[in-house]
Amino acid sequence: MIKVLIAEDHDLIRGALIALLSEERDIRVVEEVSRGDQIVPAVVGSKPDVALLDIGLPGIDGLEAAGLIKELEQPPPVLILTSVGTPGNFDRAMAAGVRGFLVKDAPAHRLTDAIRVVARGERYIDFDVAADGGEQEINTNPLTAREIAVLSALAAGRRGSDLRGTLGLSAHTINNYLAAARLKTGARTDEEAVRIARANRWLDDGSVPAGS
């Protein structure tokens, strides 16, 4: 069971988040706060597996709180959920050591996927926010080298036995890498994962040229 702390100052949004997460069998909200200066004491008291924080909070903002959480002896991973997905906030979040960054207008399944990903100690970045960074050089690629290789092969048109032969991997192993890539990108299908990864320049498309 993944224990989650929610920090959100709008009662309606906080209630909606709690209702959404309560429908997940493997996620439980153990604490909720409405102010940034309540976050660290609540984390210490409830020991969540994931701290889900808004940025615009009274007291101190969610990014400042994330930096304080990082200084705790056993800090939980922080997932930022915000309506202000600007490159500036994104950069501050990365500097504060957060493990995930998601905007509030993302589909609900991305939030639950993101919670599961950061609870495992991995990183989850909303690809729309990352893409909005323009020409800024930010290393936001959440994919492993193997996941990149599998998606790059798919992007080059490899399928079935051709895909297995190119990668030298079994179908079972390839499916595991694809499942991980879908989770990290928030995609529903392998094709969507390829599209998202390519849009964010996470793929090495030149490494597996089609027809070679």
Write down the domain spans for the chain: 2-131, 145-207
pLDDT tens, the chain, 212 aa long: 999 999 999 999 999 999 999 999 999 999 999 999 999 999 999 999 999 999 999 999 999 999 999 999 999 999 999 886 666 777 788 788 899 999 888 888 889 999 999 999 888 887 555 545 433 444 457 788 888 899 999 988 888 888 888 888 899 889 988 988 887 777 788 998 888 888 777 886 543 333 33
- Please determine whether the domains at 2-131 and 145-207 fall in the same fold group of CATH: no
pTM over 0.75: no
User: So what's the architecture of 2-131 in CATH?
Assistant: 3-Layer(aba) Sandwich (3.40)
Task: Give the 3-state secondary structure of the chain.
Answer: CEEEEEECCCHHHHHHHHHHHHCCCCEEEEEEECCHHHHHHHHHHHCCCEEEECCCCCCCCHHHHHHHHHCCCCCCCEEEEECCCCHHHHHHHHHCCCCEEEECCCCHHHHHHHHHHHHCCCCEECHHHHHCCCCCCCCCCCCCHHHHHHHHHHHCCCCHHHHHHHHCCCHHHHHHHHHHHHHHHCCCCHHHHHHHHHHCCCCCHHHCCCCC
Topology adopted by domain 145-207: Arc Repressor Mutant, subunit A (1.10.10)
Radius of gyration of the chain, Cα coordinates, nearest whole angstrom: 18
